């Protein structure tokens, strides 16, 4: 495994981080469970192969992810770094910080959290809750008491607000120490701010290195972009993220042992992209912008839709068509989806909930119509 300096935290972090939101699950009597017999060996295998950063959150895997992470890592607690998050939007008063923190500590069954994130910040939420309820002060106290080691944030808003968050927290004497942001070959909107964060001593972790699965498509993007013999698009997507010197770690949501093994190989590879290759790719990727006209990250915040429409799935299929030219595949998958009673735009109740929740501010209803026209009607 490759390791990198994690900002000014003093930690060396593995280039591959384990995103703990895709564990295998099953439902029984209307309740969801993680299959620990599969998930725990995956976590331990990743650790044995050098992964030392595990990122979970209270709501991942139907609220069960923290429990499984805690069980898996208990015996090796001091050898790994655990990250989890506070749902800032649910905080109504300053004391909620401690309440959520204690809940996470209990579920993890741990005495401390290494990186405690203000979760999915927008500027509005940051102003209203983090500053408005003085949660930074709560974070400072929790750190002093040793309940958390570092103060962190994850982010879903316009890139320019990253600077605002870093600067205001610093000016209040409670600097942010690490940041978790979306970054990949198709979405470089945070790139400048990643550099800014690094210049302020923050460690930076990238989420979505394979672009919500889009860059995992089995096509030869590298050859398409560079005209050179290929490496897999999946590997390329990771290498692109890790080729950014201001980033420390690429987080991957891993749900199978195969995926762990595949990702560990990439995180351990000594053959990164050269600076020229990285720059060339970046330049070529600019040409992909046109493919990003519908930029759905697959985050699923728009779910559940009251009409049962699987919006991220449908948008992902559109990307197969639009970005990779896999039109037959996309159309076929769309047909399967519908044949299996998958709901689409004709079932939409026009409630607008999805659009209120979408961090990318997509005009989801219009886009669904457009996708349907292309993948079903044409």
Contacting residue, 2, 360, 369, 376, with ligand SF4 by CB under 6 A = 360
Nearest CA to 254 among 5, 69, 75? 69
Which secondary structure element, helix H or strand E, spans residue 19, and what is its range? strand 16-19
- 346 touching ligand SF4, by CB under 6 A: no
Contacting residue, 3, 112, 246, 301, with ligand SF4 by CB under 6 A = 301
- 315 touching ligand SF4, by CB under 6 A: yes
Q: What pairs with residue 309 in β-bridges?
A: 343
- 351 touching ligand SF4, by CB under 6 A: yes
Rounded to whole angstroms, the Cα distance separating 348 from 360 reads: 20
Rounded to whole angstroms, the Cα distance separating 312 from 208 reads: 14
What angle is formed at CA 99 by the lines to CA 97 and CA 101, rounded to 5 degrees?
Answer: 70
Report the residue number, 251 or 281, with the smaller CB distance to ligand SF4. 251
Rounded to whole angstroms, the Cα distance separating 162 from 182 reads: 12
Report the residue number, 43 or 362, with the smaller CB distance to ligand SF4. 362
Contacting residue, 332, 349, 366, 373, with ligand SF4 by CB under 6 A = 349
Report the residue number, 152 or 297, with the smaller CB distance to ligand SF4. 297
Q: Yes or no: say if 184 and 215 are a contact pair by the CB < 8 Å rule.
A: yes
From the list 2-10, 30-38, 262-270, 360-368, the region that binds ligand SF4 by CB under 6 A is: 360-368
Contacting residue, 147, 197, 231, 364, with ligand SF4 by CB under 6 A = 364
- 260 touching ligand SF4, by CB under 6 A: no
From the list 82-90, 255-263, 285-293, 310-318, the region that binds ligand SF4 by CB under 6 A is: 310-318
For ligand SF4 (CB under 6 A), the number of binding residues is: 27
- 362 touching ligand SF4, by CB under 6 A: yes
Q: What 3-state DSSP class applies to 352?
A: coil
- 309 touching ligand SF4, by CB under 6 A: yes
- 352 touching ligand SF4, by CB under 6 A: yes
Contacting residue, 61, 81, 166, 305, with ligand SF4 by CB under 6 A = 305
Rounded to whole angstroms, the Cα distance separating 295 from 316 reads: 9
What angle is formed at CA 256 by the lines to CA 250 and CA 260, rounded to 5 degrees?
Answer: 40
- 135 touching ligand SF4, by CB under 6 A: no
Rounded to whole angstroms, the Cα distance separating 158 from 180 reads: 14
Rounded to whole angstroms, the Cα distance separating 205 from 250 reads: 6
What angle is formed at CA 352 by the lines to CA 346 and CA 356, rounded to 5 degrees?
Answer: 140
Shortest reach from residue 59's CB to ligand SF4, in Å: 15
Residues 6+ apart with CB under 8 A from 340: none
Per DSSP, which regions of 71-228 are E strands? 81-86, 113-121, 148-155, 178-182, 203-207
- 311 touching ligand SF4, by CB under 6 A: yes
- 353 touching ligand SF4, by CB under 6 A: yes
Structure letter (DSSP) for residue 288: G
- 254 touching ligand SF4, by CB under 6 A: no
Report the residue number, 91 or 368, with the smaller CB distance to ligand SF4. 368
Rounded to whole angstroms, the Cα distance separating 53 from 243 reads: 19
From the list 88-96, 132-140, 304-312, 319-327, the region that binds ligand SF4 by CB under 6 A is: 304-312
Per CB under 6 A, residues contacting ligand SF4 are 296-302, 305-307, 309, 311-312, 315, 348-354, 357-358, 360, 362, 364-365
């Amino acid at each position: 495994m490759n390791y990198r300096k994690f900002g000014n935290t003093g930690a060396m972090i593995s280039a591959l981080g384990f995103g703990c939101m895709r564990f295998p699950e099953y439902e029984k009597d209307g309740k969801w469970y993680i299959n620990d017999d599969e998930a725990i060996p995956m976590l331990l295998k990743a650790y044995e192969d050098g992964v030392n950063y595990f990122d979970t959150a209270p709501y991942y895997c139907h609220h069960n992810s923290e429990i499984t992470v805690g069980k898996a890592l208990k015996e090796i607690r001091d050898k790994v770094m655990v990250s989890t998050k506070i749902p800032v939007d649910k905080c109504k008063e300053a004391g909620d910080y401690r309440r959520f923190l204690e809940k996470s500590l209990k579920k993890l069954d741990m005495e401390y959290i290494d990186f405690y994130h203000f979760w999915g910040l927008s500027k509005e939420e940051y102003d209203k809750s983090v500053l408005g309820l003085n949660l930074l002060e709560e974070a400072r106290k929790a750190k002093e008491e040793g309940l958390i080691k570092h103060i962190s944030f994850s982010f879903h808003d316009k890139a320019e607000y990253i600077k605002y968050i870093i600067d205001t927290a610093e000016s209040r004497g409670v600097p942010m120490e690490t940041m978790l942001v979306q970054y990949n070959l198709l979405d470089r909107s945070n790139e400048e701010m990643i550099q800014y964060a690094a210049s302020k001593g923050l460690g930076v972790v990238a989420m979505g290195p394979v672009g919500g699965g889009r860059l995992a498509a089995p096509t030869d993007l590298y050859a398409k972009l560079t005209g050179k013999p290929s490496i897999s698009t999946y590997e390329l997507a990771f290498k692109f993220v890790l080729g950014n010197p201001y980033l420390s770690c690429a987080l991957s949501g891993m749900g199978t042992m195969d995926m762990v093994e595949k990702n560990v190989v990439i995180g351990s590879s000594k053959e990164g992209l050269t600076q020229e290759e990285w720059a060339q790719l970046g330049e070529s990727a600019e040409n992909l912008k046109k493919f990003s006209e519908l930029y759905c990250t697959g985050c699923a915040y728009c779910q559940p839709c009251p009409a049962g429409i699987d919006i991220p799935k449908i948008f992902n299929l559109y990307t197969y068509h639009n970005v990779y030219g896999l039109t037959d595949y996309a159309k076929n998958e769309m047909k399967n989806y519908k044949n299996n009673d998958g709901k689409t735009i004709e079932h939409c109740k026009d409630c607008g909930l999805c659009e209120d929740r979408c961090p990318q501010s997509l005009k989801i209803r219009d886009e669904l119509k457009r996708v349907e026209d292309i993948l079903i009607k044409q």
